[in-house]
Structures are given as structure tokens and as C-alpha cells.
Amino acid sequence: MPTLFRKIKEVKNFIRGLRASAGNSFSVGFVPTMGYLHEGHMELIKKSKLQNDLTVVSIYVNPLQFGPEEDYERYPRDLERDLAMCGEAGVDVVFAPTDEEMYPETPKVKIEVEGISNVLEGVFRPGHFSGVALVVLKLFNIIQPDRAYFGEKDFQQLKLIQRLVKDLSYPVEIVPVPTVRDKDGLALSSRNTYLKEYERESALSIYRSFLIAQKLFRAGNTSANTLKEAIKEYISKHPHVRKIDYVEIVDEDFNIKEGEVSEGDRILVAVWIGNTRLIDNWRLSYEEV
């Protein structure tokens, strides 16, 4: 089983001691999570294990990134289950602080990344990315990793963290890991547990709409509007789709594309399936799926 720490000072001292005894070549990989781990998290851990001497996983449901009407209270939590999964995956250290440990006082710092914080997810979840940025930078300061691993499924979050690290000169390499999908194409997410069995077919419309857009793109349809409308039309005809928050296409710098799209651009969607809000994205490519 991994060594579990609940206190900031204790995990910092432990990692500092390992670095001191192992020398300059000792590397620390870090996988920040909100727990209720799945195979997507396991891919992040696997990558870290391959590239580092020590792998640290944080398990913390950060209240600052949830809005007042969001699912903070019902977000799935099971620390014993997560520790067992971390043990099977060979994780060395788990840091699972309490709210009181992470935020003994209400933080006064607000972090915003221009062009990323206030579009798409930032519009529909005001303050979300300020909370994400604060907790990730705080965790970086605690763990002081050489590399940190983030899934491409949360693409906007990934771009936000990459920009923060670049602009603030943080000495950590951000390693993106491709989205992990179930056999039927549904992107793995802890929130998938909210889906009722009869809603899953409607949830699969997201992945299938990406395949439609990909086919159109490979056939020479490079209009952002054409691809977006095809996605909206396909998803919206499914019975348990309550609302589409957005369908947009961005480039690698997270600029929203209005005209023609190119290989490497990303389709990003947010869709309500019943009472479950799912996000997903797809990289446009000329390669056949």
C-alpha cells in the first residue's frame, strides 16, 4: 500500500528527505486527482511510474472549483477504494488532506488566465478555473514535483495549467495523457457514476458525434460551423439529452475557431444527459479512426 499523508508538513518533509538522501537525479511524478479513481487515472499513474523514481497521487475534492449549485456534496468519494487502486498501481505516496488542512482560512487569492479562464467552461462555471488554478499551484508548492500528469479529457484545464506553469516559471513539466475511453467510446469520468443505465446510450451520442465530424473533416469539410452544427444536430436528437451547453472548436493555443478548421484543432463539448453534465473533446485528424 502507498504511504498515506493527511498533513502538508508531513508529506513535504517526507519527499524532501527522499530527495536529500537520493541525490539530484531523483525525480518525483505527481498525479493530482479528486479521487474515485478509474482507468483514466491509472493511465496517468502508469506514465508517472515509467518516468519517475517516486509517484505521488493527491486525492482531494476541492470545494473552490465547485459553484453553489454544483455537485460538491454528492461528488463520489471512497478513500479506501482509491488507496487500494493506488496500491495495485504501485503508487508510492498518497496525499489526502482535509479542507481544514488545505484552507485553514478562506483564500484571498484569485487567479485568472486571460483567454482561457472566462470562455466555455469558464462561462458556464464561473470561478471554476480560479479554484482549479489555486489548488493545483498550492499542490505543486507542497509536492514540488518534477513532472505532473493531466488527462486530455479536461482539455481546457490542461491548457490553463500549461499556461500557468509557463507564465509563472514553475519548475515542473506538464505531461498530457490522451483521453481513456470505455469500449463503447464514452470518455471515462468519475461523474459517469451519476448516469442511469437508460441514459448511457444518449451519453454515447457525444463520442459518435465526434466520429461524424471527423468523417466530414476527412472528406474536406473544414468549416467550423458545418462541423459544429452536425454535432449539435446528432446529439440533440437523443432522448435523454436535456441541454447542450456548448460545442466549440479551438486551436492548440485555445483560440476559438470561427472560419476554417485545421488538423490538430479540438472540438470541445459540454452536454447534460439527464441531470449529469459531461464534457469531452476530440482532436481533428486526417487519420482514419
User: Which residues are the active-site residues?
Assistant: 41
Cell numbers linked to 130: 480560479
User: What DSSP letter does each residue of 93-147 carry, written as one string?
Assistant: EEE---HHHH-SS--------TTTTTSTHHHHSTTHHHHHHHHHHHHHHHH--SE
Tell me if 257 sits within 8 A of 224, measured CB to CB: yes
Buried b (16+ CB within 10 A) or exposed e, 8-28: beebbebbeeebeeeeeeebb
Rg of the chain over all Cα atoms, to the nearest angstrom: 19
DSSP of 206-273, one letter per residue? HHHHHHHHHHHHHTT--BHHHHHHHHHHHHHTSTTEEEEEEEEEE-TT-PBPSSB--TT-EEEEEEEE
Cell numbers 471515462 correspond to what residue? Answer: 188
